[in-house]
A and B are shown apart, each in its own frame.
Chain A
Amino acid sequence: MAEEILKIEHISKVYRLGMIGGTTLRDELQRRRAKRRGLEDPTSKIGSNIAGNIGDEFLALDDVSFTVFEGERVGIIGHNGAGKSTLLKLISRITAPSTGTIEMNGRIASMLEVGTGFHPELSGRENIYMNGAILGMTKAEIDRKIEDIIDFSECRQFIDTPVKRYSSGMYVKLAFSVAAHLDAEIMIMDEVLAVGDMAFQRKCIGKMSQISKAEGRTILYVSHNMNTIRQLCTRCVVLDHGHLVFDGDVEEAISIYLGINGGEQETYYDLMNADRPSEFHGTRLRMTEFTFLNKESAQFTPEEKLRFRIGFDAMEDLEGLKLYYTVKSIDGFTVGLTQTISSFCDARKGEHYECEFEYDASNLAPGVYYFIPDIFSDDGTGRHLSYDHPLCNITFEMIDNDNTKMRWQTSNYGHIRLNEIEII
């Protein structure tokens, strides 16, 4: 078993509502006086005494404990306000916990926001030294690594130019390069890869995996991008409203985060009032509802077919109507497109139609998917005209209880089960 490198025990962080931000001595005296007389705090925000915020306090983190071992790459996921950033702030010592202890056996390099401490007037090279020093490197260490850092940043040409003339992409590349070359034992990253082009993002992920594998560095990574979590992390922690709700396998954590593990999927959608991507959509033809047929919950095994009904109103005479949709996985990855090959309906002005469809999704891997139905017509030459595209994600889940096949790991296998290999 690897050594423990970071141990978090019963950490809580309390924020006082209505007091975050500046306060004056007068406010404080008023508050003290009111408290003594048993009156309501005159400086608190109106409505902050409602249930859940008892005593003007808010628990950003509530009794969180977990241990990280050397060389692990731990993803921290959770919705906005779940306490991820607070947790990272506590670990990186920006603010102190209200209760509990954190033990760490190594230096911490945090990249909560890249480019921290960059001074616009200083050149790229000077900023590398500055930023490195802020992150805890000595001048000698930076001297040794400066060439690697400049190479990695792809900014050599501009390295002696003040960074105020840099593009935002270059800025991020330079900052990431400094942080990635730190000698810290524990690296903390909070969505630093959200910026920068795809090629550089891939390079960063590669670099992070490499330093973790080759040098046994430990990484804590916060992101809303499940793809990078899958690529980088070996373990995941899920936070929800300040509580630690899951700690373990990455895929399992992601499905918990997406809130769908064993959860029911809707079978009825009202499309009448959904937003449309343009003013044109929904004016000549408007979809009103979508229903999965004969199901309590939109969960399907590969043997089942998706059967659904779409209701729509026609405002004009429209001929040769067809349906298509793009199936996406729940983390936004486009799986593929499917359509009706022939027309399903010729619509007459002022009529309401209800059409039923069937779709075989047996080649989709287990997981949650969604699509947006689109009714269109084409002129037979490949061009098409979309009449309605309600912005409503029709969600369904593919489940698989067949243990004769391999247990599906989406990060390695993808979303599609390809045709089976036949023995001849």
Chain B
Amino acid sequence: MKQGTYYKRITADAKGINFDFKEIWQHRDLIFLLVKRGFISRYKQTILGPAWAIIQPLMTTIVFTFIFGNVARLADCGAVPTFLFYMCGNVAWHFFSGCLSGTANTFIANRGLMGKVYFPRLCVPIANVLSHLISFGIQSAMFLTFLVIYLFIPGYEIGINAYALMAPVLVIQMGILGMGFGIMISAATTKYRDLQFLVGFGVSLWMYATPVAYSMNLFKSSAILHIIARANPMTPVIEMMRYGFLGKEAGSIDWLSYGWSWLFTLIILACGVMFYNKAERTFMDTV
């Protein structure tokens, strides 16, 4: 057969990593429309609309500030305002967990659509991450507003520095890590529904393993706890985020653990795409 522009060959045996970037690029309009559709349908028939994107992390931050900050005294961050300390961690974590849990049920939530028509299946999780990115953008604006307000309040010390410019890199990393885990789980849930239950509380457990509700300074005395905390790929991300925006009292930079975090992220992405590709070929038969 003559092999034209759109030549395609479908075989029975699955290949390993089959990341057809060209095909996804051809469907970029679809990704854009999926983001738009998700955004419109999410806030349709709500009174506050996109304001909900702000309310949730704001409330969580207030509760964290009160419970973990003032009552339990877990925020060891010197002259940095506790409220900003928690908001920074919460906004970042909220983005990551949104990417993860949002993509974790891709196949099951979209079986109606995917069972009827072919399009690159990765478009859906990518669109999901992008729509969380929009919410994250709104929340970041809120965070920066509070940051500026606190700059003018005497008695607080905010050491914003050049590492704040790392923020886009950190955001990309969180998106990749969240999506990598999410699609891996979504590939597995086509056969084993058990994992659906794991995702919900697994993500909240993971949050407590990450310095979101507390500060890494608490582990200073124990080297073992420090190493364990550093093994969590999300730890250096949150820490670097806080270091950049709030100063060395609030966060820390450890290039070794940050390197490990990126390595872990890329491995998860590769495995995720591989499992996802394998699952997408026949998931309609089992889901």
Contacts and interface: CB of A to CB of B under 8 A. Distances in A.
B118 A92 contact: yes
Interface stretch (B25-33, B94-102, B177-185): B25-33
Nearest to B44: A121
B113 interface: yes
A96 B41 contact: no
Contacts of B191: 23, 28
Interface stretch (B4-12, B145-153, B206-214, B225-233): B4-12
Contact of A95 (B2, B40, B285): B285
Contacts of A261: none
A91 to B, nearest CB: 8
A336 to B, nearest CB: 41
Residue of B6, B32, B117, B283 with most partner-chain A CB within 10 A: B117
Contact of A113 (B32, B44, B116): B116
Given A4-B1, A96-B14, A130-B37, A25 B192 contact: yes
Contacts of A90: 10
Given A7-B1, A134-B117, A102 B193 contact: no
Contacts, number: 124
Contacts of B41: 119, 121-122
B1 A105 contact: yes
Contact of A101 (B7, B10, B27, B115): B10
A7 B8 CA distance: 11
Contacts of A19: 286
Secondary structure of the A side of the interface?
A: loop
A185 interface: yes
Contact of B12 (A94, A97, A116, A185): A97
Contacts of B9: 101-104
Contacts of B7: 103-105
Given A105-B6, A185-B6, A96 B12 contact: yes
Interface residues of A, number: 50
Contact of A105 (B3, B12, B27, B282): B3
B219 interface: no
A185 B8 CA distance: 13
Contact of B117 (A100, A116, A121): A116
A204 B45 CA distance: 36
B19 interface: no
Interface string A108-123: 1010110011010110
Contacts of A385: none
B281 interface: yes
B114 interface: yes
Nearest to B287: A22
A138 B282 contact: no
B119 A136 contact: yes
Given A96-B281, A99-B12, A101-B11, A112 B117 contact: yes
Contacts of A95: 281-285
B8 A133 contact: no
Residue of A28, A119, A136 with most partner-chain B CB within 10 A: A136
Nearest to A97: B12
A96 B11 CA distance: 8
A141 B116 CA distance: 22
A20 B285 contact: yes
A116 B113 contact: yes
Contacts of A98: 12
18 contacts: A3-B2, A20-B286, A22-B193, A24-B194, A89-B284, A94-B116, A103-B10, A104-B10, A105-B1, A107-B6, A110-B118, A112-B117, A121-B41, A122-B41, A133-B27, A134-B30, A136-B26, A139-B32
Interface of A: 3-4, 7, 15, 19-25, 28, 89-90, 92-108, 110, 112-113, 116-117, 119, 121-122, 126, 129-130, 133-139, 185
Given A20-B286, A105-B3, 18 more contacts: A3-B1, A15-B285, A22-B286, A22-B287, A89-B284, A90-B10, A96-B14, A96-B282, A97-B12, A100-B11, A103-B10, A105-B4, A110-B116, A117-B113, A121-B41, A130-B33, A135-B117, A139-B29
